[in-house]
A and B are shown apart, each in its own frame.
Chain A
């Protein structure tokens, strides 16, 4: 693995190796007073965020620091981006300044791939921390880690991804990863919030949440991304919530063992009822906890091994 840009095309063996590493790291650090490993001493990791983020950025920063890497945060506001510097020049600057890895979040789909192609030959690795409505691979990996922890195995499990699939990079990354790991994926959304071309994805599509619930092993809820919506994708927030929100009545329709995931930030009362978010069936804080270990594993797989010949 040279970069981590998407889960589309990520081979299942590599994904499983990252998940295994994350699991071992979690168990290694459990109950320790000093949560710090010397593994990436002297390596420099830069987070380059052109969009707002709390959990992803903090999670990457904590992961880097627990592995003893030097982590530098660059955000679009407060950097030369405000002076009009292009993404390419910013990337080359970071690489020249000694970054071994750039973690990038950008509102444009495909930004991480462009960045990786510009940095070809410099030895700087790239991790996609979310590019527009395209992919967010570490989120999918941490969701998979959480599902493995709660369900034992992903292969053969039936998992629904519910809500704003159209604007969701989390959904795209999860569809590819979960399918590669052998899960059956169902997308449940109003027709206006499904992308064109969804028929070519390895999924089935449904518009009726209630009829899907009894057969599911997990429900993954997506945030309704108002900031990416310009126009009427659904009549009202209340109507969306009634048709696709996970409330207590729907929670009761799920099998006893099924888990509820949400990538956050949650809109309580919109896609998820408050009581559901706080119930023990929800693994939402586990997802955040696992996020750190999964990102440590990604850093380990990208930075610890022998440098690949360019």
Chain B
């Protein structure tokens, strides 16, 4: 499915390698093979997405050379997912205990039709590949090909009421599956939030895969948020609940250190984190730092959401 927003940060199809196409073909074949192996259940349990996703690279970095995709091994072994430990390699080492099937997301709050979506329902949305930059608040970044669908598509199905001004998200918090919950690093469960217009923005997606494969546990399986113009911690992982609210919902890092983490947390090289500069970042796998772009380079698409707001105050 081609989304409506087209701008400088989108590459036209002839500018980029047809990786999405090739991946989708491969996943169709893998899906077929998996379906055969599983006696036609078509369950999404193997390493490849069984459900084929739409091919077009709808949103890709402007310059494929400058924004080469991060090696999958790096994106799956260098993670912040504190429910599985605070070292970067902890999630890849410990997240094997996460059970991603069955899985449900309860969507409730200020909606006309509160709905619980099973993972199968989520996978039945038309999936597409989105190559996005991911900028961590710690000063590193990656370029990741996600597989997912716009959050707006899901929200439309639950019929938000006029009162719905914000969207609150919640991660699973199960001690038997998440060894990191033993430590009070943050108040569990992890929660995040977006303003309604941010949540409805076409760049905001729910991801169920990356690199053409099912989302690995350490990356927030089976379903996570991806908001590419905000610091990575906004892109909440392993979501179990989405609540539409009238008031701004609490967010985990803001609750932990309000002076350091605001509700918006848009990538902004002008506003430093009190403990470190946000002016530059190092792309994982590269040697030297590069300049961080306002809104992580997605300003053309999203800056208008914040027209008239003081982004130094609303950090």
A-B interaction: no
Q: Which residues of B contact A (CB under 8 A)?
A: none
Q: Which residues of A contact B (CB under 8 A)?
A: none
